[in-house]
Amino acid sequence: MLSKLNLGESGVLVGLDLPESVQNHLMHMGFVPDALVTVLRRAPAGDPTVYGVDGMEIALRRETAAAIRMREADTEPQETVEEEQIIVADKHRPDLIEATR
C-alpha cells in the first residue's frame, strides 16, 4: 500500500483498488502501473501526504493511498527483454552484445 511508505521512500505502482472514475483521474496524473512513486512530505497532522510521480507532486488522503497497491522499487536495474534476447541469440559473439548496450 502506498500509505505504508515512509517519507523519502519510493515504490513501484502495481494497481489501483479504487472506483473507476478515481482510477482514471489518478492515471491521467501519472499513477499508472510500473510508475515510480516517492513520498515527498506529509501535512503536520499526517494527512494528506504529497507524493511525487512522473515529475508531478500530488497530495492524496490516507484512505486513497491505502487503496494503491505497491511493490518495492528495484535496487538494481534489470536487463531489458531485448538485451536478454540478444544475449541468448548472440552468446558466442560478446562483441555484438557490448555494441548494443
6, β-bridge pairs: none
- 22-67 tens-digit pLDDT: 999 999 999 999 999 999 999 999 899 999 998 999 999 999 999 9
Decide if 9 is inside a domain: yes
CA 95 to chain centre: 34
CATH code of 38's domain: 2.30.30.90
8, burial (CB in 10 Å: exposed 0-12, middle 13-18, buried 19+): exposed
Decide if 79 is inside a domain: no
Q: pTM (2 decimals)?
A: 0.70
Q: How confident is the model at residue 100 (pLDDT cuts 50, 70, 90)?
A: very low
pLDDT computed for residue 46 by the predictor = 86
Name the residue with cell 500530488.
58
Range with lowest mean pLDDT among 22-36, 65-79, 80-94:
80-94
Range of the domain at 45: 2-73
> d(Cα 93, Cα 101) in Å, to the nearest integer?
14
What rounded mean pLDDT belongs to the chain? 83
Decide if 82 is inside a domain: no
> d(Cα 73, Cα 70) in Å, to the nearest integer?
9
Number of structural domains (the chain) is 1
